[in-house]
Chains A and B, each alone.
Chain A
Amino acid sequence: MRRLACLIVALVGLPFVSIGIAGPLPEYAMKAAFVYNFTLFTEWPTLPNNTLKICTLESDALKHELEKFRIHQPHGATLLISKISNIEAIKDCQALYLSEEDKQRIPVILSLLENTPVLTITDVPELMGKGVMIGIKTDNKRIVFEVNTLAAKKSNLYLSSKLLSLAKVVY
C-alpha cells in the first residue's frame, strides 16, 4: 500500500513541476504567425470582394490562433479565417493550411486545387516537395520553412523574393 501511495503522489505531483515556465513559444501560435506572414509576401491574381480567406480543415488548434490576426488587413483586404467542412469549398480560399489530421484527404485536395490560385501550406514533413507550396518544420527549436516555387507558379501565385531569401530551401 505504501508503494501505491508513493506512486499516486508521484503521478499527481509530476505536472506541477512544469507549471509556470516562461520561454519558448507554443507551436500553434508560432505557426499561425508564420501562415499570416506568408500571405503578406504572396500576390494573388485577384482578391475577390477584397477579402483574403485563410482556411483550415481539421486543425482547430491553428484556426484558434489564426483568429487573433482578424483585425489585420493584409494587402488592404479583409482577413477571413474559415474552417472548411465541404471539401469543394477550398477553391474559394486564398491560403489553405494542411495538417497531420488532413493527411488522408491530401491527394484529393491537391488534385482539386490544380491550377487554382490557393497558397498551400503544411507542417507535414512527407508533403514537402509533393505539390504543397510552403512547408514549415521545427529545426533546432526554431521554425524554418521550405518553398516550392514551381508549384506556386503553376497556380499563378507570385511569391516575393524576400520570402524566398528567408526560406531554408527553395525548390
Chain B
Amino acid sequence: MFKSLHNLHQAEGKFLLSAMLVFHSLLPIAAQAEHAHTDQPDLTQASLEHLLQLEVTTASKIARQVSDARSAVSIVTADDIKTYGYRTLAEILSSMRGLNITNDRSYDFLGGRGYSSPGDYSGRIMLLVDGIQMNDNVYNQSYLGNDGIVDTELIERVEYVSGPGSVAYGNNAFFGIINIITKNGNDFNGGQTALSAGSYKTQKARATYGKRLSNGIDLVVSASGLNSEGQSLRFPETNNGVARHLDSQQNQRLFTKIQGDSWSVNAGYSSRYKEIPTAPYGADFNRRYAYDDTTKFISGQYHSNLSNHLKLSLQTDYSDYFYDGRSTFSGEKVLENATGRKWGTEAKFFASWFTGHQLIFGAAYRDDYERKISTPAISSNRGRQSTSLYLQDEITLRNNLWLNLGTRYDYFTDDGDAISPSIAIIYEPIPSYTLRLSHNVGHRTPTAYEKYFADGHAQTPNYDLKMEKVSATELIAERRWSNRSRLLATIYQQSTDNMISSTAYNNIQYFNASGTYTHGIEFEFEHHAEMGTHVRTSYAYQNSRDAEGEWAANSPHHLAKLNLSAPLFHSALRVGLEVQAVSRRTSALNQNASGYAISNITISANQVLPHLDAALTVRNVFNKRYDHIAPDYISPIAFVAQDGRNLWLQLTYGFQ
C-alpha cells in the first residue's frame, strides 16, 4: 500500500516537472522569434498600385471571444483545427483548458470542472452550434466524435465558457457551455473537396461549396462521408476475449448555412453507425452490438434594429434525434430505439435606453413534444414544455468598473420551476488587465432517460427525480499584451445540490444524491510571435468530492495541455505539436487508472501542387499505452485501452 502511494506521488511529481520544463522552454522562444527581422522595401514611399502587388504575411493574433465576456473563455480557431489536424470535436476539446474526454468506444464523454462521470450520457456542459442547442432531448447527450453534427473543417471557432451559464442558456448550462461558430461561405470563396485516409482502415471524403454572392447573400453547403473498419480489441476482463471486427463506424453529414444582412438559416444532418465492442449492459460478448445515432436540425435567426437603442434577435429551431440499438442478449436479438423531437423559439432584446446600462432581456419557449424510448418490453413517451424569462443588466459604475446583474426564471411542465440569479463585478485597474468576480447559480432537469426509462429488467424509473442545482463562485484575472499574448488565471469553487446519480448497472435507478463540491485553479497562456510561432498552453488543478465526500470518479486532479506550432522552411510547411497530460483517475469502484501524457504532431503544407493542400497527423507519436475508465454499464470491463500511434493524411483541393 505504502509503496503504491509512493509510486503515485512520484508519477505526479514527474508529470508536474515535465509540465514546468515545457512551460519554461517556451519563454525564450517567444523572445527570440520577436527579434527576427526581415529586409523590406520602404513602404512609406510605395504607391497604392505598388502595394497591391506586394505579398503579405498575416500576423496571427489572439482570437477574441464572441461569447459572454464575464466568464473565462478558451478559444480554438479554424487555424488551430488545420494546424493540429483535428478530426472531431472531442479532439478539439481535449486541447482546451480544464477539459478531458473519456472514450468507451461507443461515445466521447466530456468532463470539465471536476465532473467527468464515465458513461454519463447527459454530461453537464451544453453544446451550441451557431447559438442553437445541440444536446438531444432524450439522453441530453452532446455528440462529440464522428457522431458530431458538423465537420471540423466547417468550424470557424470553438469557444469554451467555463462555469454555469444559466441566465443566458437556462437548463443544462450547468458547468459550462461549448459554443461552436461555423464558417461563412466567404471563408471558402469557392469549392473544396477533401479526401483523407488513416489508420484502422479509415477513409473520409468531403465536398463543400461556399460563396458570398454579389447580392450580399452568403451560403455554405457541405456533404461528407466517413468509413472506418476499426480494430479487433482485446479486453482482459472478459477472459482476455477479443471483440473481432466490432469497432467499425460509418458517418454521413450534410450542412448548410445561408445568411443575409439580418437573417440566417442553418440546417444540418449527421448519422453515425457504430459497432460497440464492449458488450454493454451484459450483452453477449463478441456478438454484434451496434448504435445508430441520427441528429437533424434546422433553425432560423433574424436580427433587427427596432430603434437606435433597441435591438431584437429572434430564433426558432426544430431538431430531432433517432437512436437505434441492435444487440444480442443470451443469443436473442434485441432492438431498442429512442426518438426525440423538439422545437423552440426565443426573442432576445438588447436595450441601451439608459446611460450606463446595457440591458438584455428575453423570453423563450421550448416544446419537447416527443421524448420516447422503446425496448421490447416497455415503451414510454413523455413530452414536456418549458417557458423561460430572463433579464440582465450591465451597469457601468465607473469607466473601469462594471456590475453585471442577471436572473432567469424557467418553468417546466414536468419538473417545476427554477430561478437562476447571477452577479459579477468586472474591474480594469489598468487597460488590458481585467479582474472578474462572479457568482452564478444553475440547474439541470432530469432527462427523460433518467426519470422515465424502464426496460423491464435492468432499469427502473424514478418519477420523483428532481432537478439538480449548482452554484459557483469564481475569480478570474486576465492580462493581454497587445493582441499577441494573453494570460488567464482563474480560481473557483462550486457546490451542487440534489446531484442526479445512478445506482449500479444491473439495477439502475437514478436518484438525487446530496451535494458535491469542487474547487480548482486554472491557468492559460497564449502567445503569437511575429514570425508565426504560436503557443497555447494551460494547466488545471481540480479537486472534486462526490456526494459521499469521496474523490469523484474519473476526475483527474491535474490536466496540462501544450500546443505549439511554427512555420518551417520559409513557411512552406507548418508543424503543430501537441502534448496533453491527464493525471491519475479513480473509478466508482476505486480502481485506479494511471496518468498519461500523449503527444500528437501535424505537418501541413499549403499549395503542395496548385490548389492542393496536404496535412499529415501522427497521433500518440510515442505509442503510449493508456486507459480510460469504463462506464459502470460495460462491466466486467473496467478500463478501455485507447488508440496507440495512428496516422491521418488529408488532401484538400480548392477551386473557384
Contact = CB atoms under 8 A, between A and B. Distances in A.
Interface of A: 3-4, 7-8, 10-12, 14-30, 32-34, 36-37, 40-41, 58-61, 68-69, 71-72, 99-101, 103-104, 111, 125, 129-130, 138, 141-144, 162-163, 166
Which of A14, A58, A142 has the most chain B CB within a 10 Å cutoff?
Answer: A14
Given A41-B48, A111-B308, A138 B56 contact: yes
Contact of A129 (B38, B49, B216): B216
Interface string B36-59: 101111011011110111111111
B589 interface: no
B617 to A, nearest CB: 16
B32 A15 contact: yes
Contacts of B261: 129-130
A104 B358 CA distance: 13
Contact of B53 (A4, A14, A101, A142): A142
A34 B53 CA distance: 12
Nearest to B56: A30
13 contacts: A8-B22, A12-B28, A17-B566, A18-B33, A24-B55, A26-B38, A29-B40, A33-B51, A68-B44, A101-B483, A104-B69, A142-B54, A163-B48
Interface in B158-188: 186
Contacts of B47: 37
Nearest to B64: A100
Nearest to B55: A24
Nearest to B31: A15
B306 interface: no
B519 interface: no
Nearest to B565: A14
B533 A15 contact: yes
A23 B48 contact: no
Contacts, number: 149
B603 to A, nearest CB: 12
Contact of B56 (A16, A25, A162): A25
Interface string B330-365: 000000000000000000000000000000000000
A106 to B, nearest CB: 12
A21 B40 CA distance: 11
Contacts of B41: 25
B99 interface: no
A-B complex: 7 closest residue pairs judged by Cβ atoms: A24-B55, A33-B43, A24-B57, A37-B48, A27-B59, A19-B36, A14-B566
Contacts of A3: 622
Contacts of A101: 64, 483
Which of A8, A30, A138 has the most chain B CB within a 10 Å cutoff?
Answer: A30
Nearest to A137: B186
A4 B622 CA distance: 11
A30 B48 contact: no
Given A11-B577, A18-B567, A23-B55, A61 B36 contact: no
Given A17-B569, A33-B51, A61-B483, A27 B57 contact: yes
A105 B25 CA distance: 38
Given A111-B308, A142-B55, A143-B56, A18 B44 contact: no
